[in-house]
Amino acid sequence: MQDFGRRSFLAGAAALGLANAARAASPMGTAKGPVQASWPSLVDNYRYPDWFRDAKLGMWSHWGPQSVPAQGDWYGRFMYMQGHPMYEHHLKTYGHPSVAGMKDIQNLWTADKWDPDALMAKYQKAGAKYFMALACHHDNLDCYDSRYHAWNSLRVGPKKDIVGIWEKAARKAGLKFGVSNHAAHAWHWYQPAYGYDPVGPQKGVRYDAFRLRKEDGKGQWWDGLDPRELYTGGHAVLPDGIDTIEAMDKWHDVHNGQWIETGPKDDPAYVTRWLLRQTDLVAKYKPDMVYMDDHELPFGPVGLEAAADYYNRSIEWHGKIDVVMTGKQLKPYARFGIVQDVERGYTDHIWDEPWQTDTCIGDWFYNIARLTDKSYKSAEQVIQRLADVVSKNGNLMLSIPQPGDGSIDSEAEKILDAMAGWMVHGGEAIFGSRPWKRYGEGPTQAIVGMQNEEKAKPFTAQDIRFTTNKGALYALFLGKPAGSTTIRSLARGQGTGTIERVTLLGGGQLAFRQDGAGLHFTMPHGIDFVPAVRIDGRGLV
């Protein structure tokens, strides 16, 4: 199945003229090799690594300066939008954004309680086989020793190579290591930083991104740094004369509030710098995975340059392409050239190719409200999600939010501990497994697509997911069955083979009966969440 129909996709790509897609000029240092910067070349050369197919569960430290205010996601954008709760928090806590901007929040990132080795041990115990560090978010701070971007974590905030330290901890623990790059969107995401208050006592006073230049940093903590490099330049600046919050919001929504996959038209050098930063990141840390927060790849042909560079470097490192690059919303010509990521989403069928979903127990960036109102995903919900994804040929990458100091809170600790407890017995149904001929059964239907977790209905005891591993079939119950239990997919006469033994993982063998209605057995009371049974026999898998 390694071919996965790639020849038909190559033919389709060629028909679309993608083989001759324009290529950006390669920067010095881009790796050369057999992989070219085109979708047909990526598809033709790529093979999904066995380590990724076996791993099933990764942990993600989606951690950076936006964790400092503990208000959740996109703080660096919303703090510049009067009327938004994050603007109000910023005004009350740090001051007006004409003076105290996102650059200053970045410098408040301390990481003073960060213990990467201890955290890695917790993640590994909870089942993680790979680990991902956030390398740069839309706030445009490189969290590593960046050669091409002065606004980085060695000069600002913690004064540490965050990615490099994570990388050493992950590899020491025997985990594969990945990095995530979200910087392609910084240029449009940051445009509210060039705006102003449309109402109130500071009406019309432009925010710091508009006002400050490199020379203004003399004698300041950011002496020698250019705010224009951080804030990317004013590509869609709020015009003068807007005098209501509603009008301001509407202007931003129209002019820079969309998810834009191209670079700024007035600054083509931005895209070149992005590619230099990306290839530098890959060359320095040799990641096993690169997560792109983009639909397909950033900036069209330039993203293809980045992918070809990464794959050719992998050939240098490993003698083959043994790495994973992810993208979202892949069109048919892009499938099989990279791994598709379905952010906070579901699928309703077994995919031909391996894929990944990523989610978080709370907000991507730390939000203290999730702790106080106890609204994290539970360990049960995480394992339910893991079983569902793995049954459909996918992996789950789970983020555990960290405050600015780098610790994790008490509720996150409990969730990881409960996951670790489940893994003691349930792990054999997950790690190294492959899908069965059907993913499962049950009444709860998935809402297909990205960003749809809030639409999902709770799983029931009748929702079952199947995996296979080393000749055995596993059934994972997403709810908590008790007493008489039936697996209808294993009815006699349905081509399911001969069942010889049914074992509750962590609980011993179960007496069973198979007939035309299904496989029947009695599940003991008081079992843990997401119980799994191993089914042995002949002709099952």
**Could you read off the pLDDT of 325-348 as tens digits, one per residue?**
999 999 999 999 999 999 999 999
Name the least confident of 228-232, 419-423, 449-453. Answer: 449-453
Q: Can you tell me whether residue 440 is helix, strand or coil? A: strand
Q: Quick one: pLDDT at residue 523?
A: 95
**Could you read off the pLDDT of 476-533 as tens digits, one per residue?**
999 999 899 999 999 998 888 899 999 999 999 999 999 999 999 999 998 999 999 9
Q: What is the mean pLDDT of residues 404-417?
A: 98
Percent of the chain with pLDDT over 70: 95
**Could you read off the pLDDT of 278-290 as tens digits, one per residue?**
999 999 999 999 9
Q: Residue 33: name the closest of 225, 263, 310 by CA.
A: 310
**Could you read off the pLDDT of 299-321 as tens digits, one per residue?**
999 999 999 999 999 999 999 99
Q: What is the mean pLDDT of residues 43-55?
A: 98
**Could you read off the pLDDT of 519-535 as tens digits, one per residue?**
999 999 989 999 999 99
Q: Residue 520: name the closest of 492, 493, 478, 496 by CA.
A: 492
Q: Quick one: pLDDT at residue 32?
A: 94
Q: How confident is the model at residue 29 (pLDDT cuts 50, 70, 90)?
A: low
> Residue 167, class by beta-carbon neighbours within 10 Å (0-12 exposed, 13-18 middle, 19+ buried)?
buried
The Cα–Cα gap between 58 and 52 comes to: 10
The Cα–Cα gap between 427 and 431 comes to: 6
Q: What is the DSSP letter of 346?
A: B
Q: Quick one: pLDDT at residue 526?
A: 87
The continuous run of DSSP H or E covering 88 comes out as: helix 85-93
Asked if 187 and 235 touch (Cβ cutoff 8 Å), the reply is: yes
Which domains, from first to last, does the chain contain? 6-75+109-185+263-429 (3.20.20.80), 447-538 (2.60.40.1180)
Q: Residue 338: name the closest of 351, 355, 313 by CA.
A: 355
Q: Residue 353: name the closest of 54, 48, 135, 122 by CA.
A: 48
* Residues in CB range of 180: below 8 A, 6 or more apart: 60, 62, 132, 133, 134, 135, 290, 291, 292, 293
